[in-house]
Structure 1
């Protein structure tokens, strides 16, 4: 069982710690436990109930009325709401509940509902990415185990694969060619999959090589595929050399016009730090602008 501080509950629920303390004192809505050293903490059941309470509260339910309901009835009210259109925070809160509970039915139901309501790319941008950002704190405080991470990432991954599979494969030789890959040792694939979706949606020809690709294998693949661009994500510190050394080696050994990179390992760098041909993309907006720029340049070239 995970232990949460009131600040972590604030971060995950979006309800200020000051408000949570008032709810605790006035309505007995939260019942903190104490460690042997008298430090207050909350458990998974508290987090799940609070996220459900937050959803009802954001939907206009009075907190005094919510507090009179047992957790089972609060959960039932939430299930009724998930059959109607939800807002961004409600989707995110329900995904957190499903992840903490390892509840595949709820996770699938909420994610499917978000995609139906918002469309796939918008649901990734407005629900999936903010959800991943929120639960980042849980990884840092060891409140999420590898089982939780694999559970939710595989369900999101399945949705992305279905969305990509539904796109036509560009057949024209004039479509810009892109190889997508993760460096050797890198396994966090969700951002790479979404980039694959965006690129293929925009008419790029893509060769998806996935996780944990040694540089020598990438070089051989590029010699055969002849890409105009490379795309990669550097999330965890798994490289045997520095990030800049790896990118320099990559740009020198693989023939491509540009190497587009993003990820947490690049947060402390600016574009001027990058080796030749390497383009730093620090947000989804930046990636989509780059795709738009390349697409427009292709159209202009065809008109000449």
Structure 2
């Protein structure tokens, strides 16, 4: 894996500490040791990032920077582990997950998630910690502040947790039928998996096709199951130039179902949505949508 390099702006985005403050800490306490390129441009490496993430977490929780600066790396890390085990502040937990991602440390990542799931439940852990965290690293990945290996590492760990949670929900019959899929070429599956979990949790049937579903396969499964709802999340595929055509084709081919769309290529874009298409800004809206749907059914 290539060694990652970071600008001071990258450190600011990842740690939440202003670049001006980082420079002061660097000068006054020698916390950071920037390297220089052949053209004399300052940069930081993974060790610098890990250190500043840990320092930021301690500082946010009342540790004075003068005290932190006197600790060695092992002492700082030990204090951070103690802190993340006892605090339930969402920002702190997101910070702890970020450190685990940078260090690619599976056990620590798993411990943070498992502790929160035990204390506040799987759903609240996903909504208040994992999703904000995934949104954060999505932006950082797009700007090059983290590398693809780190993003894949974390996504796969979250995916494993979701699959286990989904398997734990037993369908008992009844309810509505939801067909969940991603378009061909689309691989970003976390939101769709969480939607599958919430839908099954509410007692509805989920037919899950997952990543990069060929159109022919989607059409075949649709004819077999005749679902009440189709749901997909469009993050990168189809492209922005092709999304409108894709939406129109879905709406035309599956007129007997309501189609639920979300994702970066959908939300906030200048698109036209046919009458059988509904959009969701955030995945948490699927829960509200299902509850609303159930109320309407009860009233009929």
Task: Classify the TM-score, shorter chain.
Answer: over 0.9
Please state if 1:145 is matched with 2:147.
yes
TM-score of the pair, normalised by structure 2: 0.93
User: Given the superposition, is the C-alpha separation of residues 51 and 58 from structure 1 closer, same or farther in structure 2, using an over 3 Å criterion?
Assistant: same
Please give the root-mean-square deviation of Cα atoms over the aligned residues, in Å. 1.9
Partner of 2:296: 297
Please state if 1:118 is matched with 2:120.
yes
Of 64-73 and 127-136, deviating more is 127-136
Partner of 1:101: 103
8 Å CA contact 1:99, 1:107 repeated in 2: yes
Of 66-75 and 160-169, deviating more is 160-169
Q: What SS does structure 1 have at the residue aligned with 2:212?
A: strand
Shift of 1:209: 1.1
The residue correspondences of 1:50-199 to structure 2 (distance < 5 A) are: 50-172=52-174, 175-199=175-199
How far apart, in 2, do the equivalents of 1:205 and 1:234 lie? 22
**CA offset digits 1:189-212 (Å, max 9, x no partner):** 100000111111222211111111
Shift of 1:114: 2.2
Shift of 1:44: 0.7
Unaligned runs of 5+ in 2: none
8 Å CA contact 1:11, 1:134 repeated in 2: no
TM-score of the pair, normalised by structure 1: 0.92
Q: What SS does structure 2 have at the residue aligned with 1:283?
A: coil
2:15 aligned residue (13, 16, 20): 13
User: Given the superposition, is the C-alpha separation of residues 69 and 257 from structure 1 closer, same or farther in structure 2, using an over 3 Å criterion?
Assistant: same
How far apart, in 1, do the equivalents of 2:224 and 2:216 lie? 13
**CA offset digits 1:130-172 (Å, max 9, x no partner):** 1122222432243433322221111101111111122231312
8 Å CA contact 2:185, 2:212 repeated in 1: yes
Q: How many residues matched?
A: 298
**CA offset digits 1:188-239 (Å, max 9, x no partner):** 1100000111111222211111111112211111111111111100011345
Of 74-83 and 237-246, deviating more is 237-246
How far apart, in 2, do the equivalents of 1:256 and 1:67 lie? 64
Shift of 1:81: 2.0
User: Given the superposition, is the C-alpha separation of residues 134 and 42 from structure 1 closer, same or farther in structure 2, using an over 3 Å criterion?
Assistant: same
Unaligned runs of 5+ in 1: none
